[in-house]
Structure 1
Amino acid sequence: MKNVVFVRSSSKPARVEKEAESLKNAGYSVRILYWDRNSNQSRVESKNGINIKYFGLKAPYGKLSLIPYLLIWWIYELFFLLRSESETIHSCCFDTLIPAILTKTIQKKKIVYDIFDFYAESLPENIPPSIRNIVSSFEKFCIRFVDFVIIVDNSRYIQIKEAKIQKMDVIMNCPNDIIVNPKSSPNTEFIIFYGGMISKTRGLMELINSIRDLDNIKFIIAGMGEDENLFKEISSKTKNVTYLGWINYEKYIDFTLSADLIFGFYDPKIPNNRLASPNKLFEAMMCSTPIIVNEETSMAEIVKQDNCGLIVPYSNHNLLKKSILKLKDNPELCLKMGENGRKAFEREYNWQVMSRKLIESYNNI
């Protein structure tokens, strides 16, 4: 039996645990190491037969003040990996890769490098371009020591094409099919739902400004992030906007299933946003719910190809408003786009398809 350890510099489990579960079911012995940045208490738990270790060290996200905490995390990760009996290290994002490479050098282990986001383009906006370029070059240099690279979307290849890549595959972040009940009866209002990071870079203000004066349209927002206080305040003052805060995944799917439209905007000024292929697109497909996205993103190509939603420019408030009214006034179009998305999900954008690719990749390492 082959042994694999997943390493992730946060405790956000969705993709990690799907991949770990797929490998476990294929006969691999799997462990997970998370960095829990919300607590100073380390702990161990077992979930679905997988041993999970949480390294507790409170630390920020997306700030330069993270650097000293990152160094402590790297030291902890390195000693954890050196003590581990795992033959393969599944390194999730660049802030776990350097200890993995050191471990490989010492103990001749294999590395699978799973690039959730290209690190240089995920750095805070105030980082100078020169520093960003250095980080980018260093990540590409480190990839030469990796046995297998995973990217989450074909469009992401442009970010690493200059690296020396031994083997690579695309494994999208698609959900397991958990829909057992059909959509319920129509809503009395036209419900638009957004679930995810709460940030002004996600087009939330653009949508609020577009629907502020519209009747029988309600915008529901769920999640946590840097701008959550702003949207709490807006929610309290705007009659057709509701901010729920953090909700669990089951409730998130319930809202995705019951909504009339899913909102998926990403500010194209941020390079990683232009290449976004987020869960919410595939979850909307799974739930037979149309989605509206901005045309500057790679996911707009999927929406266009499968005709499962509408595409508008990021900053065109007038066209966004018209597009929402178009769907609100045409339930048949909403239904058809939802059906198109569901067909595409069943054909190729589900985790069962991606799980087979993951196992095949591991078997070929």
Structure 2
Amino acid sequence: MKNLFFLFAVLMSLTLSAQELYDLPKNEKTRWISFENINAKKGAGAKENKGAKGHPFERIPAGESVDLVNIDGSGIIKRIWLTHSDHLTPEMLRSLKIEMFWDGEEKPAVSVPLGDFFGIGLGKSVPFESALFSDPEARSFNCVIPMPFKDGARITVTNEADRRLDMIFFDVNLIMKEHKEKELLYFHAYWNRELKTELGKDFTILPKVEGKGRFLGTNIGIFTDKRYENTWWGEGEVKIYLDGDTDFPTLAGSGTEDYVGTAYGQGTYNHQYQGSLVADAEEGAYAFYRYHIPDPIYFYNDIKVTIQQMGGAPKAKVRALVNENGAELIPVTVDKAPNFVRLLEMKNPPKLNDEDFPDGWTNFYRSDDVSATAYFYLNKPSSDLPQLQPVEVRVKDIIKK
């Protein structure tokens, strides 16, 4: 118990070190934006219906958008809260698109399916809390990532579903202040999905981005291919290419569950910087996250982030996956202590069905349905990243039977 109190005290001191709660900064103005004061004007909130809850929500017809934020000036968005009337439907969570534009840019710095943006992959809504996102009762979405801007900010939600969204509620809490920094780092987010990853090729969490900044982390969702049955899918290592890396990365992990802070498989848990919110072996659905807050990842020229698509099982099971299920896979290593066989380094490696194929735990490249949201800061208000994939790709097979 004493250790817990000590840890709490340390965390509190770290939280308050930047600014004491009783400090009053100069020339900073607190503003809230909601439908009750959409322009964040002083003394202009709750005017409709004589101040009696006159405009708490909006509707978004199919194919239309609504601005949550559209303001001029300089400031920092500190918190976003949002909920809507279809918050438990995976198709709607993937069909709603949230976009963020900084300093008058026409291209969004953020363009991500709404559910995935708020920290949960696969269009799921489950209760959790992390350092950056929370969903207290699986009915709302919260984000506390600071998002600075110099000349203006715009946040939109677009309904790309085939039906109307009856209610969307939100508030955005921000500070209006002048930025004295010579170079501002803007918040960005990127989403990507591959319905069937290419065998032997790493999945791209974040394509190469040029500039200076900080990689904040990612949440990843996987629907496993049924041909692999319930064999372990998470042997893939995260690779982060920094500042001119080409064939090989500077940062490399040792496995997927290792990257998110657990080991020997992956159940459900949610911690501040790492978590696994969905781990459904029967459905073959997994969603997990890792945020690099205590372990910052900086880049000064460019960055790219990938994760290997690799699983593992005993040799006999791997053979059965191929011979009985027709699963596509490429064996890469075999482990049976004290031996660890690197098949891809062998001149003439044995085939999986050969008598001399080594016995032991066999890791293999595999192909699954993978999606990910990457969060990062960049010293530019927009980037050259590809635009968000169309809604048909985002929602395809989102409900697995």
TM bucket normalised to smaller: under 0.3
**Could you say which structure has the greater relative contact order, defined with CA pairs below 8 angstroms and 6 or more residues apart?**
2
User: Greater share of helix residues, 1 or 2?
Assistant: 1
Return the TM-score normalized by structure 2.
0.23
Higher strand fraction (1 or 2): 2
TM-score, structure 1 length as denominator? 0.25
| Structure label with greater radius of gyration | 2
